[in-house]
Structure 1
Amino acid sequence: MNVTRVGLGSVLRRATVAPRIQSNQLIFRRAAFKRTIKTQTFLPEAAGDILNAQRLKRPSSPHFTIYQPQLTWYASIAHRMTGTALSVLLYGFALAYLAAPGTFSSKKIVEQVKKLPTSVKMGAKVLLAAPFTFHSFNGIRHLLWDMKLFMNVKGCYQTGYAVLGASAVSTAALVMM
């Protein structure tokens, strides 16, 4: 175990009292803090374990207890969730079609959908249209940001509400088709 004295005493002393060293040296020496800390030497192999233990204690970002939830925060989470859901749906259907093309043919899917009640069809349309429209319009919003447009707080909120409104209107239009 090594004992090291850490502090800014000598550096601060030289920087602040250099012109009048003689008169203020004793006062400043007593006022400048120094503390003794104990350091411990570890093997290089233990560095990874220490780093992983420190990472587990870090808060997530943004820290939920500090930041107030905002429209942009919710829109970002929803954009990621809708993108993931749409991707899983697309790849799942594509893999199912590759695995059993006879079972997942368009003709058989249309026949199965015709047998469903109207309320189930409408619900399925909403579940497909809402993420699709939101993700599409929010993607356009991100493209506008990439072009350095609406990059202030007012613009972020205006485009956020525009995305929500356009998503609602286009979801309703797609469901009624």
Structure 2
Amino acid sequence: MLSTRVLGLAPSLRQAAFAPARNQVLKTVIRSSIARRSVQTQSLKPEDGTTILNNQRLLRPSSPHFTIYQPQLTWIGSIFNRATGVALGALLYGFSLSYLVAPGTFDSVHVIEFVSGLPDAVKYTGKFLLALPFSYHSFNGLRHLAWDAGKFLTVKGAYSTGYAVLGATALSSAYLAFM
């Protein structure tokens, strides 16, 4: 190798090794000497493909996310924010549909009469349970608006605002329940 470099033969040897005419002959010889494998396929009905896919999914390992990670305020808060949003939406649509179905039963007068007949403990518990998701979702929405503005994006900022949201939620829920 060193002698070809010293003598200046390396470029001409490379040119001879990679010449198109000789290279093409070599490729043809190699292709004809290698045995070809035939691939067999079979047609499946769409439901058979779905069955095979579902069986393959059952064999996949599941992610151990809940079993190996320590619970953190950020992802617990995210889950609770989504749950409170769903709960508030379900309450809104549930009451709206109930009012459409039976407007005489779910009007303001009947709702106030029904609630006034309940014991005080049930009233305050119900008000607290209604105020909690509203308060949390509202304060966490303000937290997300601050994040969208580029504020509190550090780990310390995320945790401090998370604890502030929890504190504000507890205070405002208690205030709204006993108001």
User: Normalising to structure 2: TM-score of the pair?
Assistant: 0.68
Q: Which has the higher strand share?
A: 1
- Cα distance between partner residues in 2 of 1:65 and 1:110: 47
- 1:172 shift after superposition: 1.2
- 1:81 shift after superposition: 1.1
User: Normalising to structure 1: TM-score of the pair?
Assistant: 0.69
- The aligned counterpart of 1:75 is 77
Instruction: Give 4+ residue runs of structure 1 displaced > 3 Å after superposition.
Output: 40-56
- 1:147 shift after superposition: 2.0
Matches within 5 A, 1:16-165: 51-56=53-58, 57-60=60-63, 63-165=65-167
- 1:66 shift after superposition: 2.0
Aligned CA RMSD, in angstroms, stands at 2.2
Q: Percent identity?
A: 58
Q: Residue type matched to 2:106 in 1?
A: F
Q: Which has the higher helix share?
A: 2
- Cα distance between partner residues in 1 of 2:91 and 2:40: 52
In structure 2, stretches of 5+ residues that fail to align are 1-38
- 1:59 shift after superposition: 2.7
- 1:54 shift after superposition: 4.5
Aligned residues: 137
In structure 1, stretches of 5+ residues that fail to align are 1-39
1:41 and 1:51, CA in 2 relative to 1: closer, same or farther beyond 3 A? farther
- 1:123 shift after superposition: 0.5
Deviation per CA, 1:29-78, whole angstroms, max 9, x where unpaired? xxxxxxxxxxx976685775555445442434x71122111001111111
Q: Residue type matched to 2:132 in 1?
A: A
Which segment is superposed worse, 41-50 or 153-162? 41-50
1:44 and 1:168, CA in 2 relative to 1: closer, same or farther beyond 3 A? farther
Deviation per CA, 1:66-98, whole angstroms, max 9, x where unpaired? 211100111111111111111111100000000
Alignment of 1:176 onto 2:165: no
